[in-house]
Amino acid sequence: MTQRAASHTEATAAAHGALPGNDPVETLASPRILALQRRTIIVLSLSTILGGLGVGAALSVGALLLAEVSGNDAISGLASAVFGAGAAAAGVPLARIAMRHGRRRALVTGSMLAFVGALTAILGAAIGVWPVLAVGLGLIGVASAVQLLSRFTATDLAPTRRRARDLSFVVWMITVGAVIGPNLIGPGEIVGNAIGVPPLAGVFVFASIAQALATVVSWVGLRPDPLLTARKLAEQAELQAPVPSTTDAASASSAGMSPRTARIQITATATRIAQILTIVVIAVAQILMVGLMAMTPLHLMHTGGTAEVVGLTLSLHIAGMYALSPVFGYLTNKLGRLPTIAVGIALLSAAVWLAYISGPSHLTVQLALILLGLGWSAVTVAGAVLLTDITPAEVRPKWQGLSDTCMSAAGAISGALAGVAFAIGDFSLLAIIAGLVLVGGAVVALWLALTISRSRENS
């Protein structure tokens, strides 16, 4: 790497709020690599749309179908829990597969599990055994983990300056499946009646087909594997790295370390702290988003709302979560990773305040849910890019998988505890609790900014 290229990379990292480091894709990218990245984004976008159909279907009919099969409305609450548990459980195993064999095999494995889940859900509904149906919903939850993994896959071959754009574009594609999925209930009922299963289970026929297609798209399209290709670039960058000066080598040798080891240890502790803090900030955004969203339908119904009002409110919320993700990708590049996280926290604060004062006003609740989705989008897009920036390439899948697992688990736990809080008090009490969690998240974000700033000063 030339001195000029190294200076440019460090300046870019500093501007984005990242720890100092090298970006082999930035310095060694060729027209062939850039073309491969463009193709990778297209493949990931298509597979994300297909995978999203299963997610949208499971979230829209899972609770209703569980209640119908079990004959107990209380059982319906397990739908979101097992779905979230499936997503959380899959995060780290899929990351390990990516570490050893590449992103392609990890994405294909996840989509195949979701395909099996859709078939299992159909079977559980057909035989009238709700635990089998619940297992199927849990396996379909793996599709959510695949979506999270796909957004990180979009960064493997993306230069630093384009990571946020490429990641946010793949996230934006989730919108398509999230919108189409629930609208398959009607056609699914026709299919369900035709094949002799409960009408609501028919939607999982579409989900199974979509997951099978997503498997094929990833298997055929992700050749060569983006992560394995990025590793080769990193190896080339290491070979082309300038030899350290005699003074640096002597200093490192006197400390009993190789020059490379000495350089790594300068920021190793700060990097580990920053990685953990970034994951916590993302998890806080997930806690707020799931907790408030999960109880919104009940709050609206308790204040004279209708099913149509609930549907509109949730649609607006989903639009806030995904539709503007490219905008936050743009801001992440222009303002920086940390400033965009700050924007997200500000939006989340406004959402919590509106939820607290909403009372019986459905319009205020809808505004709160829109801002909640926007704040979540800003934090998760910028946070995912920041985690990628500050993590060495050779261990990125591990930390990305850990982030996805923590994010999914935080959402699952938040959804369950939100029900308890709502039962004890009301929507305003839930908003107060969300506000306290957000204060903690803001403190963690400030700690993260100070950690990165001090690391740059000491480098």
pLDDT value at 202 more than 60: yes
Number of domains in the chain: 2
Geometric angle at alpha carbon 383, from 290 and 114, rounded to 5°: 55
- Give 337-387 pLDDT, tens digit per residue: 999 999 999 999 999 999 999 988 999 999 999 999 999 999 999 999 999
Domain limit, last residue, from 165, 198, 232: 232
- Give 305-333 pLDDT, tens digit per residue: 776 787 778 778 888 898 889 999 999 99
Q: 426 pLDDT band (50/70/90 cuts)?
A: confident
Q: Residue 55 in contact with residue 147, Cβ under 8 Å?
A: yes
Let me know whether 163 and 303 are in one domain.
Answer: no
Rounded mean pLDDT, 282-287: 96
pLDDT value at 253 more than 50: no
444 vs 399: CA distance, rounded Å: 18
Q: Residue 79 in contact with residue 412, Cβ under 8 Å?
A: no
Q: Which residue has the tokens 């035709």?
A: 194
Let me know whether 323 and 417 are in one domain.
Answer: yes
Q: Is 263 helix (H, G, I), strand (E, B) or coil?
A: helix
Question: Tokens representing 212?
Answer: 């099978």
Q: What's the pLDDT score for residue 73? A: 65
Domain limit, last residue, from 232, 266, 298: 232
Let me know whether 190 and 336 are in one domain.
Answer: no
Give a yes or no: residue 188 inside a domain.
yes
Let me know whether 274 and 184 are in one domain.
Answer: no
Give a yes or no: residue 348 inside a domain.
yes
Q: Is 66 helix (H, G, I), strand (E, B) or coil?
A: helix
- Give 104-145 pLDDT, tens digit per residue: 999 999 999 999 999 999 999 999 999 999 999 999 999 989
Q: Which residue has the tokens 């580990």?
A: 272
pLDDT value at 6 more than 50: no
Length of the chain in terms of residues written: 459
Let me know whether 199 and 264 are in one domain.
Answer: no
Let me know whether 186 and 308 are in one domain.
Answer: no
Give a yes or no: residue 246 inside a domain.
no
Rounded mean pLDDT, 8-13: 42
Domain harbouring 315, CATH code: 1.20.1250.20
Give a yes or no: residue 250 inside a domain.
no
Let me know whether 324 and 195 are in one domain.
Answer: no
Question: Tokens representing 180?
Answer: 């189409």
Q: Is 156 helix (H, G, I), strand (E, B) or coil?
A: coil
454 vs 390: CA distance, rounded Å: 14
Q: 425 pLDDT band (50/70/90 cuts)?
A: confident
Q: Mean pLDDT in the chain?
A: 83
pLDDT value at 12 more than 60: no
Alpha-carbon distances of 347 from 18, 289, 325, 435, rounded to whole Å = 23, 12, 14, 12
Give a yes or no: residue 249 inside a domain.
no
Q: 19 pLDDT band (50/70/90 cuts)?
A: low
Burial tier of 455 (Cβ tally within 10 Å: 0-12, 13-18, 19+): buried
Let me know whether 344 and 440 are in one domain.
Answer: yes
Q: Which residue has the tokens 């298509």?
A: 46
Give a yes or no: residue 325 inside a domain.
yes
Of 49, 68, 69, 76, the residue nearest 297 (C-alpha): 76
CB burial string 358-375: b at 16+ within 10 A, e below: beeebeebbbbbbbbbbb
Query: Structure pTM?
Result: 0.80
Let me know whether 15 and 130 are in one domain.
Answer: yes
The gap from C-alpha 165 to its chain's centroid, in whole angstroms, comes to 15
Give a yes or no: residue 70 inside a domain.
yes
The gap from C-alpha 141 to its chain's centroid, in whole angstroms, comes to 13
Give a yes or no: residue 241 inside a domain.
no
Let me know whether 290 and 153 are in one domain.
Answer: no
Q: What's the pLDDT score for residue 413? A: 86
Let me know whether 356 and 433 are in one domain.
Answer: yes
230 vs 238: CA distance, rounded Å: 12
pLDDT value at 251 more than 50: no
- Give 58-91 pLDDT, tens digit per residue: 766 777 788 788 887 667 667 777 888 898 899 8
Least confident of 32-36, 235-239, 410-414: 235-239
Percent of the chain with pLDDT over 90: 46
- Give 140-181 pLDDT, tens digit per residue: 999 989 998 999 999 999 888 888 899 999 989 888 877 777
Q: Residue 128 in contact with residue 69, Cβ under 8 Å?
A: yes
C-alpha radius of gyration, the chain, whole number = 23
Q: What's the pLDDT score for residue 7? A: 40
Let me know whether 262 and 217 are in one domain.
Answer: no
Residue by residue, DSSP assigns 270-320 as HHHHHHHHHHHHHHHHHHHHHHHHHHHHHHHHHTT--HHHHHHHHHHHHII
Position 409, amino acid: A
What are the φ and ψ backbone dihedral angles of 255, each rounded to 5 degrees? -90, 0
Q: Provide the domain limits for residue 387.
A: 258-459
191 vs 185: CA distance, rounded Å: 10
389 vs 298: CA distance, rounded Å: 40
15 vs 90: CA distance, rounded Å: 34
Rounded mean pLDDT, 291-307: 81
